[in-house]
Amino acid sequence: LCELSVDDAHDAMKRSLLAFLTHLGIGEAKYHETLTRAWIMAVRHFMARTPTSVSADDFIDRNPILLDSKIMLSHYSTEVLFSVDARGRFVEPDLEAIPVYA
């Protein structure tokens, strides 16, 4: 995200996650499109709010909310986030929008 757009970072992360799942023999069915893109968007949002981080550790120290695995539930209901539709394609948040950056 430091060097890529949100779209390019998402594409790179998706390729990496799918390759990792294949490597583990788990298969692509476990991949979740909405969670992947929403996390990229969330990290980008906090990057915009924290422009002076000197390292990944510094960034996390300044934004510990990113360590909360339930952060997406402030943007999505469980019904929407864990739906079959959200697994297969990006679904917009139904509770609170995630700020969008280029």
In this structure, what token pair is assigned to residue 36? 């992947």
- Predicted local confidence at residue 3, as pLDDT: 84
CA triplet 23, 14, 76: central angle to 5 degrees?
120
Q: How confident is the model at residue 102 (pLDDT cuts 50, 70, 90)?
A: low
* Mean pLDDT score across all residues of the chain: 93
Contacts of residue 35, Cβ cutoff 8 Å, sequence gap at least 6: 72, 81, 86
- Predicted local confidence at residue 53, as pLDDT: 86
Contacts of residue 82, Cβ cutoff 8 Å, sequence gap at least 6: none
